[in-house]
Amino acid sequence: MKFERFGTGIIKGLMVTLVHLVRHPTVNQYPEQRLNMSRRIRGNELIWSRERCTGCGTCAKACPQGAIELVTSTVFKDNKYNVETYRVDTGYCIQCGLCVEACPFDAVFMGYSYERAKYRRNDLVQTNDELLESPARPVSGYFHPEIAKGLPDQTLLVEKIVEKRK
Amino acid sequence: MVTLNYSIEGLLPMKGLPPDWPGGYWWHWLFFTVVLIAFVLVMVLGAIYIERRGMGRMQSRLGPNRTGPFGLLQAVADAVKVLLKENIVPAKADKIVHWLAPIIAFAPVMMIFAVVPFQDGALLADLNIGILYIVAVSSIATVGVFMAGWGSSNKYSLLGAMRNVAAVVSYEIPLVLSVIGVVLVAGSLSLNDIVLAQDIPFILFQPLGFLLFFAAGCAEINRAPFDLMEADSELVAGFHTEYSGMKFAMFYLVEYAEAIAISAIIATLFLGGWRGPLLPPWLWLIVKIVIVFFVMVWTRATLPRVRIDQLMALAWKFLFPLALINLFITAVQVLVWPDGLPWALIFLNIAVMLVLVILWSKLFRLGWGRLEV
């Protein structure tokens, strides 16, 4: 005889919701409370290193969106071309990370930041020095385990909530 | 409706407050009308808050918590938003019916509160047929719903309204039958006298009647798990698909005012109304209304929505026969042991309820012809 069919199932369900009512809810109040992102996040920025870049154009070839535009001088010196323009239309970027994986000289990185929405379309097109790493534009550990090691561990919401409920 | 009040005055000498409290026929009328409208509006705001916050917590969310302290002003913000919206009427709508429907749905809900006592004698009209009046008046809200579906000139609105009418008509029967049990025990149809008769709350004398009334009441006002005709996660809205702005706000108000009305009726019929120690009577009534409403929210957050065939099967195969049996048992008890020991009767009735519910669950299965998992 299955008692679930005789009303006990309903009572069990009611008890479950009652327990949920009194315990701490599984939520994160986003703008005030923030969780650490994954160390390998592909945030919505692209970061470029002028020193390491040789102007080979592998990233531009790898980009499925054609969002990277690269102009170099024809002079080949010190095993590199002098990059005149490195322009990324981040509006086209789909954060696939293929340029980072393709770069043979580790000159391109995904950004660690999120919330990098812009108000104007032309703000999305970033050129040369706007693409460099800076404290405001930290580098993600995506495809670069040595960078990931230096970043804080990702906080999981579940762990925080379990900690609070104890 | 107020004149009836005076015709029975001589029959009921024991009154806490004079029937024209706080003095004078028109002053009484004006006072209670204003108080009741304010009461319903404030309770609706409170109900929306309880429902959204309570259901949020039950689903491991927080619910609205940004507008004002603890999100208390969320309902106000929603009301302002909805009032500022454009009022759209479909081109082929029956304009007059479309316009009248929210009013016709709202008026009967307000009228229910006319006979709910806040204290001994503190009510708009102490009708000697109070509960019959409630049953009669509350069915008019269905007309408003059907007018909304018909006047919108939208087949989905019409389908939702027709389902609504079918459900409400079906659930009216167990609702009324379970009320008769209470009336038999109390020996009066007047809500004030029913409350006065409850030295022990009738939920103990009528546990089965309470369950039936609660389930049927939830279905009557289309609250989850019986809200399939306006299932907001599956359909757009049911009968009020084509409503916007102020008129939609009216339907939203009706939905919660009905829930408060059913809670008030349950509190009055089964939980002893305004009676209780320490607190003032009106506060006891509000506390009981809030408790009943909270149980409604609780069941809404817990139970999955039923299908239309399950809805009808529950009404006709489960609630209706049990209501008849409950009525019969109550009648026998009232006839045979009019002065029986209350606690003996209470234990007997709770045992009868358990046996009947288990027995009927065995006879009544959801999803005939389906394989049991």
- The CATH number linked to A63 is 3.30.70.3270
ipTM, two decimals = 0.79
Nearest-neighbour CA in chain A from B263: distance (Å): 19
Looking at residue B366, its pLDDT comes to 55
Domain residues for A136?
43-150
Chain A contacts of B54, Cβ < 8 Å? 21
Q: Which of A2, A8, A20 to mutate to test the interface with B (most CBs of B within 10 A)?
A: A20
User: How many CA atoms does the CB half-sphere of B196 hold within 13 Å?
Assistant: 19
Nearest-neighbour CA in chain A from B130: distance (Å): 33
Residue whose entry in the numeric block shows the structure tokens 């006072």: B31
How many structural domains is chain A composed of?
1
Confidence of residue A129 (pLDDT cuts 50, 70, 90): confident
Q: State which residue of chain B sits closest to A20, comparing Cα positions.
A: B58
Looking at residue B294, its pLDDT comes to 94
Contact B57 A20 (CB under 8 A): yes
Q: Does A17 touch chain B (CB under 8 A)?
A: yes
Distances from the Cα of B236 to the Cαs of A141, B52, B241, B278, in angstroms? 45, 19, 6, 46
Helix (H) or strand (E) holding B370: none
Chain A contacts of B362, Cβ < 8 Å? 5-6
Average pLDDT, chain A: 87
Looking at residue A161, its pLDDT comes to 81
User: Taking CB atoms and an 8 Å cut-off, how many pairs form between chains A and B?
Assistant: 44
Chain B contacts of A5, Cβ < 8 Å? 361-362, 365
Nearest-neighbour CA in chain B from A31: distance (Å): 12
Nearest-neighbour CA in chain A from B30: distance (Å): 41
Q: Which residues contact B367 (CB under 8 A, 6 or more apart)?
A: B310
Q: How many residues does chain B have?
A: 373
Contact A18 B365 (CB under 8 A): no
Q: Does A157 touch chain B (CB under 8 A)?
A: no
Alpha carbon distance B301, B299 (integer Å):
5
Chain B residues whose C-beta sits inside 8 Å of any chain A C-beta: 54, 56-62, 298-299, 301-303, 357-358, 361-362, 365
Contact A14 B362 (CB under 8 A): no
Looking at residue B10, its pLDDT comes to 42
Alpha carbon distance B85, A143 (integer Å):
50
Looking at residue B260, its pLDDT comes to 94
Sign of CA dihedral B7, B10, B11, B14: positive
Phi/psi region, residue A78 (left: phi>0; alpha: psi -120 to 50; beta: rest), is: left
Query: Is residue A138 within 8 Å of A112, Cβ to Cβ?
Result: yes
Chain A contacts of B53, Cβ < 8 Å? none
pLDDT (mean) for A141-160: 87
Looking at residue A115, its pLDDT comes to 86
How far the first Cα of chain B sits from its last, in Å, is 55
Q: What count of other Cβ atoms lies within 10 Å of the Cβ of residue A74?
A: 6
Looking at residue B365, its pLDDT comes to 61
Query: Is residue B272 within 8 Å of B289, Cβ to Cβ?
Result: no
Domain contains A27? no
Axis crossing angle, helix B95-112 with helix B245-270, rounded to the nearest 10: 30
Q: How many residues does chain A have?
A: 166
Query: Is residue A91 within 8 Å of A66, Cβ to Cβ?
Result: no
Sign of CA dihedral B239, B245, B246, B250: positive
Alpha carbon distance B115, B130 (integer Å):
6
Q: What are phi and psi for residue A47, nearest 5 degrees?
A: -120, 135
Domain contains A81? yes
Query: Coil, strand, or helix at residue B163?
Result: helix
Residues of chain B with pLDDT under 70: 1-16, 19-20, 364-373
The long-range contacts involving A125-130, CB below 8 angstroms and separated by at least 24 positions, are A125/A87, A125/A88, A125/A89, A125/A90, A125/A91, A126/A46, A126/A87, A126/A88, A126/A90, A127/A85, A127/A86, A127/A87, A127/A88, A128/A50, A128/A83, A128/A85, A128/A86, A128/A87
Domain contains A166? no
Domain contains A60? yes
Q: Does A135 touch chain B (CB under 8 A)?
A: no
Query: Tens digits of per-residue pLDDT, A14-38?
Result: 999 999 998 888 888 888 888 888 9
Name the residue among A7, A10, A21 with its Cβ closest to that of B57.
Answer: A21
For chain B, domain boundaries: 3-363
